[in-house]
Structure 1
Amino acid sequence: MFCHPLSVVFSLFFIGTIVCQSDNDVSLAPLKDELISLRILTEKLQEQILQLTKKNAEMEVTNLQQETQILSNIRSIEIQGGKIQKNDDDFRRLRRELKHMKKKCKPFSSFPSYEEPQKMLNSFVSKQSPIGNRQSKRSHRPVQLNLSHSSNGTPIQTKRASTSSQFFTAENSNNMYVSPNQIVRFDHVVTNDGQGYDASNGIFTANSNGVYVFYLQTRSTDRQCFVEIVKTGSRLVSTWSGHGDHLADSTMVVLRLQIGEKVWIEDRSYKSNNCEIDDLSSFSGFMLHAEE
């Protein structure tokens, strides 16, 4: 068979190209293996970096928690120290007061007889009085001890019989209208120890001699009201409410009452029309101290 020379040349060139390509593939194989190894190593390094980053973050959180706990403990110690200091100051103050009380009570440590402690007590009261020479004759009365004697002659102090006390508070259950010179009757009784206040007529009656305190609060939103605290017909103090912005008013009086004397609230309005007192008004009183 006859072959063209060019065909032979091209065939040889093609065969040479194939042989060269095969040689190149053989020489690149180690590089591919190295690239694969480097990729695997890179992935491992990335995993290790992530693990280290996570551990560092956890360590930082732990450190922050420990620092917070330390600060909290320091604050607690400071608070406890402040309490200890306050308790120490209170203890020192109480100890000073105790010494002062012991010093005052020293004259009464022993009572040889009834006459002797009576003189000592009167002398002590006159020296310790804060009013001094301005005391009234009433305050200079000798202090009487209620003493009894035991079988061996030692005086024993006994308690006096207590005097019954009185106190009350009454208010309006609803708005009420009263005419001039009419007694204001607070019908809702809140307290009434001693039963001195009569809700049926609004009058308080003293059951013991003594000094009493009375308080009145009035409020009116419709008409002007001028009411007073009255003692057995004698006008004492007054309130004026229901005028412009002056919707409410209050007053108080301290006075001495004898058994059976009465105190009440009375309308003294100048106008002939009725006075309105609402349900926020109240009348209170109590015995400050009893007298013989």
Structure 2
Amino acid sequence: MQPQSAFSVRLGEYNPSSDKIIRFRHIVYNEQNHYSPQTGLFTCVIPGLYQFSFLCSAFVDVGSAELLHNNELVQHSFKVSEGGRYLSSGDAVLRLQTGDKVWLEATDGITGLTTTSFFSGHLLFAV
């Protein structure tokens, strides 16, 4: 059997906060439990190449989302205004080692993010 690691999460509930780490609490898929809704962190268990995607939606201009890997900025989101909403999105492929952490941060805190904002990641192949 091939190694598996995947998650897909939504914000799920409006949670006004000045916290920077976005804690997605509504689990769409997280069978291996490598993503923690309590901390907002994905922890690598299987070394390999991973793909991460996100889309954060807000009704107010709350800054942008950033993808981080072990406290290093990987990607600033691409941000647009569409139909009265601000959308920040991104997609990246990362090589991870066991214990590495990946998460999203909101540059100006998570106040204003809509409940449909999502974050997902999956193992492309083990190395």
TM-score by length of 2: 0.87
Query: Could you say which residue in structure 1 is the equivalent of 2:116?
Result: 280
User: Which runs of 5 or more structure 2 residues have no equivalent in the other structure?
Assistant: none
| Alpha-carbon distance in 2 for matches of 1:255, 1:236 | 9
- Percent of aligned pairs with the same amino acid: 27
| Alpha-carbon distance in 2 for matches of 1:209, 1:203 | 16
Query: Could you say which residue in structure 1 is the equivalent of 2:31?
Result: 193
Match of 2:92 among 226, 235, 253: 253
- The one-character-per-residue Cα deviations of 1:145-171 (angstroms, maximum 9, x if unpaired) are xxxxxxxxxxxxxxxxx4421000010
Mapped contact 2:80–2:87 kept (Cα < 8 A): yes
Give the ranges of 4+ consecutive aligned residues of structure 1 lying more than 3 Å apart after TM superposition: 240-246
Q: How many residues are treated as equivalent by the alignment?
A: 126
Q: Cα 1:172–1:246, aligned 2, differ >3 Å: closer, same or farther?
A: closer
| Alpha-carbon distance in 2 for matches of 1:232, 1:267 | 16
Query: Could you say which residue in structure 2 is the equivalent of 1:226?
Result: 64
Deviation at 1:232, TM superposition (A): 0.8
Deviation at 1:245, TM superposition (A): 4.9
TM-score by length of 1: 0.40
Higher strand share: 2
- The one-character-per-residue Cα deviations of 1:201-237 (angstroms, maximum 9, x if unpaired) are 1100010110000001000003323110100100111
Deviation at 1:267, TM superposition (A): 1.7
Mapped contact 1:223–1:243 kept (Cα < 8 A): no
Mapped contact 2:53–2:91 kept (Cα < 8 A): yes
Higher alpha-carbon Rg: 1
Mapped contact 2:52–2:120 kept (Cα < 8 A): yes
Higher helix share: 1
Query: Could you say which residue in structure 1 is the equivalent of 2:54?
Result: 216
| Alpha-carbon distance in 1 for matches of 2:82, 2:17 | 17
| Alpha-carbon distance in 1 for matches of 2:94, 2:45 | 15
RMSD: 2.2
- The one-character-per-residue Cα deviations of 1:166-200 (angstroms, maximum 9, x if unpaired) are 000010112233426x2110001110132100011
User: Which runs of 5 or more structure 1 residues have no equivalent in the other structure?
Assistant: 1-161
